[in-house]
């Protein structure tokens, strides 16, 4: 059949093809291909078609197409994320076509507000009616680093530029009913996303939609009218006589979310001759309290969105029709509808698996989340390992579970994650994939569009199989043959070959090469041999079937031994190959042959399917026949060289009573002084159950007799940590099993192990994260591409995942406890396969469990550490400050302030502040009122961490604080004028005077100070200059007369202040005690003086007051005063008079001055032994007046006065006279004589009243002084 008779077949080639393209929203992008068609027939022109994701593209304002005759091009004039997808150019020649595809990626434009999300996309209008339409959209891949809070929907009437926001609060559901449209008008819509940083750029606008009854819209489509103006004129017929309409039918809730409920119904059969409208009613389920929803304007459409419903409540709805004739009967009510999202956010996709594709791309597959409903698609993200930064791989959700991520950096390692999208929102991210290095797959990668039908399945695989000769069924590669046929470019002309060449053996190695990507190799399965060549266009042309060059087949296993033998079967064990080939061992193949009379027979396969364990039972053997065995290991590169044939073993029933040898003895966790030995129990247990194991060890070079048992008693477990090893020494080990009959044959000896801790060795680390999740963590930086982390408990595989979750990413693996408890006690170990023995363990005993649980609780419910609890203080103005200090706070920390269990807020009464830098949280109140009595609490939250501190202010505590605040407030007002800093007080000066003293502040020149005592002003001679800020009042010789209340007042035009001091009773006594103390301290040392009667001891004080008590002590005995021994005070002199002293008066004299509290002492020694002077006071040679002078002389004026007396002393005393205590000498009127050393005379020839007074004669020699007084009184006779 030839197309249009011109040729039997055209050959269409694409040259200068467009590559994977990357653009940004708002940019212009162009795609193009040069098309070469042969034979070139001028009259026959090809049809050029462009597809996006399999949908034919038509020209629009967004897309322009051009065909030059040789080159086809497509231009995106203003790229949007809606334009992202797989673009296919199809060139059609009659019944035959050829096509080329590649992907176009469109990133978000830069947000106007940093941190704002990307714009929503794919805005569509659904279910449009007269006054109602549902707007739907897809959520953006980029949220700006903060969760999207919701979306705003905007509408614009076609023909205008005015946009109106349809919803006041953001909606989270990606569908929204817009009501209130005007019938007949057309609208376009756009959507904006919002997060806490701000609002995104608007989406691309929707296609215009007219607010019309669907029936009218259908009529318009079938009968096109005038050119489109964006507005439809709706005419109504003249109403006829009205008939009240019947009830609507088929009322249903077609959509329910947390924000709204959408109702749908059918118009009634009986509606009259005019148009009808509707009223919607609601009631809480279970009641009959119906309320009209649209109270003012009835709706025209048989659709209605009900807003403002209480989330979580159940409602029923009904609808009434109305027209000019009236309101009809209600419809049947709906079933109770709960206001909640009926569509759940999907769960996270599972098992994300990356595979190599090209130098800059990776194929990512995943498993659809369970119970997923109405999936829109998936978003895929990539991250360079270790960067912590994720980038979207697509910006338009992709269907299916397979995607090629382009634009990656060659040689970098990436991890991937996927999230599902539906109208309810985006799922959580899947677990991160294993890391993959971006390198081209051998033979080239899979291009987008080669097999678009595969995108709906994981890797495009089904259960259909192809029969491969020589392979076991379970190890055959699996292909979707139908998909391969569908993805052929030449559907009409060619048929793909659906089979492969038979496998070809490659000598003894039996190397089987992997079929890349098209095959699903299960663990422990051997990969098949390379398939036959494929024709161009075949899937396998793009994904070559070849062996990885950096992986080799493993070396042979060795040390084959028989673990048990019965009549017709034998159990074998062997050691793992020393060289694994750079990838994990996936299984083993066992061959056997008979040996008859020493002549070996032909090798036979014991197993066709690879076995994963290093032990295998071969069945159906011949009893008493001798056999040899060989074992080959397999990995992803193929099957390795078989081992050398084992020694001959006879197949016979073992009858020995003791157990057979344990097997698979392995050393792990090798350190410089310890290692862990693992083994498996014997296959042959003997005649009784195994009772335990003995472990033997010796140094590698030591002789056989140096084997020694590590344990004295049998071990019940099948592992043992052996300590006490010497660093650098090589050891070998073996294990023996024991039962009731005795100890059995030892296992094979392990390979030599050197006790050493290799550089870079890491240990299992236990961790408790910020959410309190307890996990064991192990890292390995020596992994090969196929290494895996294998966790075990007590060195047994962990099969029960109800207690643990294992999370492995790259070179890190984590065993996460779901609920750590006593069931989890044990030793947890982790081995990294395909490495040189990388392993470690951690023991969780009861003590460790308690520690971890306590730490988990601390992390799960963290507290904000406080440097100080909530405290209160009164500030200068009487303000009340509540405060507490946190040790540290982040920038997101916040505080709630609570009074009597009710939150209080910053305002006129309360001034609140949280300083995250210093950790200080404070609240200030202007004053405390009676209603402020109660409990104050500061509640802190910093991320997950919380804390609170309370202060109870009630009763006396509150009253005291309130009084203090009032006092401080008054004090502050007082200090605005002249005021006292220190209140009036007193001090005693060094002169024993009392000084009243106060300190003042805020003084100026006009400030006056006035002193009062007992309310009477004290006149002060001097004015204070206040330079030193101190005011004083000096009270000299303070005594009882000075007791009273003193007050000092400051005043000027700004106000006045006063200070009072009471010096009464106790206060006065305190002052007098201090005065007495100072007087006592002022006392001079005791001195001695001779008098006419004897001797006098005396001391001078500043001044004397009666309150100062005086006592005298002689030789430690209190002196009793008599006429001979007297004491007294004369002026400032305190004295003791001893008349006619005798030798008994010698000794130590002490004067005691008692100030009320303390006795102050002055001492003088008159023992006669210390100085000659003191001794001489007690001899009779001192100067004295012997007699002759009267005490008083009364004489008439004008008479002559003559007085005489005798003095004595040795040496002769000196004589002098005093008048009224002042020296007195001879003159013409008064003659004084001293004759013969003993006679003294005093003569006044004529006395007058001026001569009246006290006359004293003073006699003095070296031994003493004596005074004798006479008082002369002169009178005038007429006065008598």
Write the DSSP string, 318-351.
EEEEEETTEEEEEPPPPPPEESS-SSPPPPPPEE
pLDDT over 70 percentage in the chain: 86
- Measured at the CA of 126, the angle between CA 124 and CA 131, to 5 degrees, comes to 115
Q: Report the candidate in 351, 402, 353, 406 with the shortest Cα–Cα distance to residue 378.
A: 402
Which residues lie below 8 Å from residue 1110, measured CB to CB, with a gap of 6+? 1127, 1129, 1134, 1151, 1152, 1153, 1154
Backbone angles phi, psi at 974, to 5 degrees: -60, -40
Confidence of residue 496 (pLDDT cuts 50, 70, 90): very low
Whether pLDDT at 649 is above 60: yes
Higher pLDDT residue, 920 or 1229? 920
**What mean pLDDT value characterizes the chain?**
83
DSSP E strand boundaries for 569-722: 570-575, 587-596, 599-600, 604-605, 615-618, 626-635, 638-639, 649-650, 663-668, 675-680, 690-699, 708-709, 719-722
Mean pLDDT of 433-442: 86
Which residues lie below 8 Å from residue 582, measured CB to CB, with a gap of 6+? 550, 551, 552, 637, 784, 785, 786, 834
Q: Report the candidate in 524, 638, 514 with the shortest Cα–Cα distance to residue 586.
A: 524
Q: How far apart are CA 423 and CA 375, in angstroms?
A: 8
Domains of the chain: 12-107 (2.60.40.10), 121-219 (2.60.40.10), 249-339 (2.60.40.10), 350-438 (2.60.40.10), 558-651 (2.60.40.10), 663-755 (2.60.40.10), 765-859 (2.60.40.10), 863-972 (2.60.40.10), 979-1063 (2.60.40.10), 1184-1275 (2.60.40.10)
Q: What is the pLDDT of residue 674?
A: 94
Q: How far apart are CA 1054 and CA 974, in angstroms?
A: 10
Whether pLDDT at 522 is above 80: no
Q: What is the pLDDT of residue 503?
A: 31
Q: What is the pLDDT of residue 481?
A: 31
Q: Which of 492-501, 697-706, 1169-1178 has the lowest mean pLDDT?
A: 492-501
Give the pairing type, strands 866-874 and 880-886.
antiparallel
Confidence of residue 506 (pLDDT cuts 50, 70, 90): very low
Q: What is the pLDDT of residue 216?
A: 66
Whether pLDDT at 381 is above 90: yes
Mean pLDDT of 916-927: 92
Q: What is the pLDDT of residue 220?
A: 60
Mean pLDDT of 42-66: 89
Confidence of residue 1182 (pLDDT cuts 50, 70, 90): confident
How far, CA to CA in Å, does 602 sit from each of 599, 607, 628, 1002?
A: 10, 15, 11, 121
Q: How far apart are CA 725 and CA 439, in angstroms?
A: 45
Question: CA Rg, the chain, in Å?
Answer: 59
Task: Of 522-531, 581-590, 934-943, give the range with the top mean pLDDT.
Answer: 934-943
- Measured at the CA of 306, the angle between CA 305 and CA 312, to 5 degrees, comes to 125
DSSP 8-state code for residue 459: G
Confidence of residue 645 (pLDDT cuts 50, 70, 90): very high
Q: How far apart are CA 217 and CA 219, in angstroms?
A: 5
Please report where in the chains the tokens 């912590």 appear, as a residue: 388
Q: What is the pLDDT of residue 278?
A: 87
Whether pLDDT at 377 is above 60: yes
Higher pLDDT residue, 152 or 982? 152
Query: How many Cα atoms sit within 13 Å of 317 on the Cβ side?
Result: 29
- Measured at the CA of 618, the angle between CA 617 and CA 619, to 5 degrees, comes to 110
1057 with 980: CB under 8 angstroms?
Answer: yes
Q: What is the pLDDT of residue 28?
A: 93
690 with 715: CB under 8 angstroms?
Answer: no
DSSP 8-state code for residue 296: S
Q: What is the pLDDT of residue 886?
A: 93
Higher pLDDT residue, 546 or 830? 830
Backbone angles phi, psi at 1082, to 5 degrees: -80, -10
Residues in the chain: 1280
Confidence of residue 495 (pLDDT cuts 50, 70, 90): very low
Whether pLDDT at 468 is above 80: no
793's tokens: 């408990």
Whether pLDDT at 472 is above 80: no
Using DSSP's 3-state secondary structure scheme, residue 198 falls into strand
Mean pLDDT of 723-736: 94
Whether pLDDT at 829 is above 90: yes
User: Which helix (H) or strand (E) segment is 951 a member of?
Assistant: strand 945-953
Q: What is the pLDDT of residue 445?
A: 53
Q: Report the candidate in 442, 396, 399, 438 with the shortest Cα–Cα distance to residue 416.
A: 438
pLDDT one-digit tens code per residue, 817-826 = 999 999 999 9
Higher pLDDT residue, 189 or 540? 189
Whether pLDDT at 307 is above 90: no
Mean pLDDT of 49-53: 93
Q: How far apart are CA 53 and CA 86, in angstroms?
A: 5
pLDDT one-digit tens code per residue, 1145-1168 = 888 899 988 888 888 899 998 876
Q: What is the pLDDT of residue 271?
A: 61
Mean pLDDT of 1236-1242: 87
Q: What is the pLDDT of residue 531?
A: 33
Q: Report the candidate in 1245, 1201, 1204, 1251 with the shortest Cα–Cα distance to residue 1224.
A: 1251
Confidence of residue 342 (pLDDT cuts 50, 70, 90): confident
pTM exceeding 0.85 = no
Query: For 586-628, what is the HEC assignment?
Result: CEEEEEEEEEECCEECCCEECCCCCECCCEEEECCCCCCCEEE
91 with 35: CB under 8 angstroms?
Answer: yes
């Amino acid at each position: 059949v030839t197309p249009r008779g011109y040729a039997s077949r055209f050959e269409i080639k694409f040259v200068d093809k467009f590559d994977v393209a990357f653009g940004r929203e708002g940019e212009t992008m162009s795609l193009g291909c040069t098309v070469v068609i042969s034979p070139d027939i001028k009259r026959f022109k090809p049809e050029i078609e462009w597809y996006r994701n399999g949908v034919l593209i038509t020209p629009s304002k967004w897309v322009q197409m051009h065909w030059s005759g040789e080159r086809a091009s497509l231009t995106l004039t203003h790229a949007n994320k809606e334009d992202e997808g797989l673009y296919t150019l199809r060139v059609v020649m009659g019944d035959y076509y050829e096509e080329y595809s590649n992907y176009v990626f469109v990133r978000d434009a830069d947000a106007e507000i940093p941190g704002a999300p990307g714009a929503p996309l794919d805005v569509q209008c659904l279910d449009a009616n007269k006054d109602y339409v549902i707007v739907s959209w897809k959520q953006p891949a980029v949220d700006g680093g903060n969760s999207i809070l919701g979306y705003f929907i905007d509408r614009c009437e076609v023909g205008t530029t005015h946009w109106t926001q349809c919803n006041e609060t953001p909606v989270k559901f990606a569908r929204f009913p817009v009501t209130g449209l005007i019938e007949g008008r057309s609208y376009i819509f756009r959507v904006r996303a919002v997060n806490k940083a701000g609002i995104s750029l608007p989406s691309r606008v929707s296609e215009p939609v007219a607010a019309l009854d669907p029936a009218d819209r259908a009529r318009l489509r079938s009968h096109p009218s005038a050119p489109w103006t964006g507005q439809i004129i709706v005419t109504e017929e003249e109403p006829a006589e009205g008939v009240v309409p019947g009830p609507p039918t088929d009322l249903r809730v077609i959509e329910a979310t947390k924000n709204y409920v959408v109702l749908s119904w059918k118009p009634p059969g009986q509606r009259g001759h005019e148009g009808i409208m509707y009223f919607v009613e609601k009631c809480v389920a279970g009641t009959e309290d119906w309320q009209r929803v649209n109270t003012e304007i009835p709706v025209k459409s048989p659709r209605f969105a009900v807003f403002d419903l209480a989330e979580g409540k159940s409602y029923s709805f009904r609808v009434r029709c109305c027209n000019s004739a009236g309101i009809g009967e209600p419809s049947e009510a709906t079933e109770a509808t709960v206001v909640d999202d009926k569509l759940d956010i999907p769960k996270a996709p599972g098992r994300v698996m990356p595979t190599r594709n090209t130098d800059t791309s990776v194929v990512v597959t995943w498993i659809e989340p369970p119970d997923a409903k109405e999936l829109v698609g998936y978003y895929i993200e990539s991250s360079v390992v270790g960067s912590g930064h994720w980038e979207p791989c697509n910006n338009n959700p992709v269907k299916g579970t397979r995607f090629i991520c382009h634009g990656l950096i060659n040689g970098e390692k990436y991890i991937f994650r996927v999230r599902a999208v539906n109208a309810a929102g985006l799922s959580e991210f899947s677990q991160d994939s294993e890391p993959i290095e971006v390198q081209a797959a051998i033979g080239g990668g899979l291009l987008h569009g080669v097999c678009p039908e595969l995108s709906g399945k994981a890797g495009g695989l089904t259960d259909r199989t192809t029969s491969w000769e020589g392979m076991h069924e379970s190890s055959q590669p699996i292909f979707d043959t139908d998909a391969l046929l569908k993805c052929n470019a030449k559907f009409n002309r060619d048929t793909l070959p659906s089979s492969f060449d038979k496998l070809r053996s490659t000598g003894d190695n039996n190397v089987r090469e992997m079929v890349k990507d098209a095959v699903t190799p299960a663990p422990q399965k051997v990969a098949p041999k390379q398939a036959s060549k494929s024709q161009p266009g075949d899937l396998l042309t793009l994904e070559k079937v070849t062996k990885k060059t950096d992986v080799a087949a493993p070396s042979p296993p060795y040390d084959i031994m028989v673990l048990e033998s019965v009549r017709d079967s034998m159990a074998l064990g062997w050691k793992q190959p020393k060289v694994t080939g750079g990838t994990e061992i996936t299984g083993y193949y066992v061959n056997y042959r008979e040996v008859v009379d020493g002549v070996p027979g032909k090798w036979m396969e014991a197993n066709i399917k690879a076995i994963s364990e290093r032990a295998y039972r071969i069945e159906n053997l011949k009893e008493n026949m001798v056999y040899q065995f060989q074992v080959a290991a397999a990995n992803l590169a193929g099957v390795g060289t078989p081992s050398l044939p084992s020694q001959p073993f006879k197949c016979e029933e073992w009858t020995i009573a003791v157990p057979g040898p344990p097997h698979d003895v392995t050393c792990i966790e090798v350190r410089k002084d310890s290692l862990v030995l693992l083994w498996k129990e014997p296959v042959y247990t003997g005649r009784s159950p195994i009772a335990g194991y003995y472990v033997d060890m010796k140094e590698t070079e030591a002789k056989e007799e140096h084997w020694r048992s590590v344990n004295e008693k049998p071990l019940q477990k099948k592992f043992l940590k052996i300590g006490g090893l010497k660093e650098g020494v090589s050891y070998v080990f073996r294990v023996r099993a024991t039962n009731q009959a005795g100890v059995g044959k030892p296992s094979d000896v392990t390979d030599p192990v050197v006790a050493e801790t290799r550089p870079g060795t890491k240990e299992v680390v236990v961790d408790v994260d910020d959410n309190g999740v307890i996990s064991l963590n192990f890292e390995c930086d020596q992994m090969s591409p196929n290494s895996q982390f294998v966790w075990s408990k007590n060195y047994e595989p962990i099969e029960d995942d109800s207690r643990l979750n294992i999370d492995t990413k790259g070179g890190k693996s984590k065993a996460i406890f779901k609920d750590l408890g006593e069931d989890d006690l044990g030793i947890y170990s982790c081995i990294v396969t395909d490495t040189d023995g990388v392993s470690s363990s951690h023991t969780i005993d009861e003590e460790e469990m308690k520690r971890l649980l306590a730490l988990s609780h601390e992390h799960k419910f963290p507290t904000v550490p406080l440097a100080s609890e909530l405290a209160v203080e009164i500030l200068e103005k009487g303000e009340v400050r509540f405060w507490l200090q946190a040790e540290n706070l982040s920038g997101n920390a916040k505080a709630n302030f609570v009074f009597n269990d009710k939150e209080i807020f910053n305002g006129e009464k309360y001034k609140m502040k949280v300083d995250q830098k210093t950790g200080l949280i404070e609240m200030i109140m202007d004053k405390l009122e009676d209603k402020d009595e109660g409990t104050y609490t500061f509640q802190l939250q910093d991320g997950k961490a919380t804390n609170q501190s309370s202060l109870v202010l009630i009763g006396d505590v509150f009253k005291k604080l309130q009084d203090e605040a009032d006092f401080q407030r008054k004090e502050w007002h007082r200090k605005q004028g002249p005021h006292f800093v220190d209140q009036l007080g007193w001090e005693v000066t060094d002169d024993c005077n009392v000084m009243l003293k106060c300190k003042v502040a805020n003084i100026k020149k006009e400030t006056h100070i006035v002193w009062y005592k007992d309310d009477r002003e004290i006149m002060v001679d001097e004015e204070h200059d206040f330079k030193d800020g101190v005011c004083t009042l000096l009270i000299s010789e303070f005594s009882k007369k000075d007791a009273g209340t003193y007050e000092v007042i400051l005043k000027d035009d700004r106000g006045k202040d006063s200070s009072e001091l009471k010096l009464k009773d106790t206060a006065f006594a305190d002052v007098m005690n201090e005065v007495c103390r100072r007087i006592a301290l002022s006392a001079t040392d005791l001195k001695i003086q001779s008098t006419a009667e004897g001797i006098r001891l005396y001391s001078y004080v500043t001044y004397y007051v009666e309150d100062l008590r005086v006592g005298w002590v002689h030789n430690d005995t209190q002196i009793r005063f008599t006429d001979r021994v007297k004491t007294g005070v004369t002026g400032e002199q305190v004295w003791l008079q001893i008349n006619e002293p005798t030798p008994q008066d010698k000794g130590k004299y002490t004067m005691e001055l008692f100030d009320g509290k303390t006795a102050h002492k002055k001492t003088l020694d008159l023992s006669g032994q210390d100085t000659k002077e003191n001794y001489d006071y007690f001899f009779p040679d001192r100067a004295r007046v012997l007699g002759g002078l009267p005490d008083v002389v009364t004489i008439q004026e004008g008479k002559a006065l003559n007085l005489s007396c005798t003095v004595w002393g040795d040496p002769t005393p000196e004589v002098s006279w005093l008048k009224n205590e002042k020296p007195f000498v001879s003159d013409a009127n008064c003659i004084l004589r001293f004759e013969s050393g003993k006679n003294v005379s005093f003569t006044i020839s004529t006395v007058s009243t001026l001569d009246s007074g006290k006359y004293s004669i003073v006699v003095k020699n070296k031994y003493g002084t004596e005074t004798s007084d006479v008082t002369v009184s002169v009178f005038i006779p007429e006065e008598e």
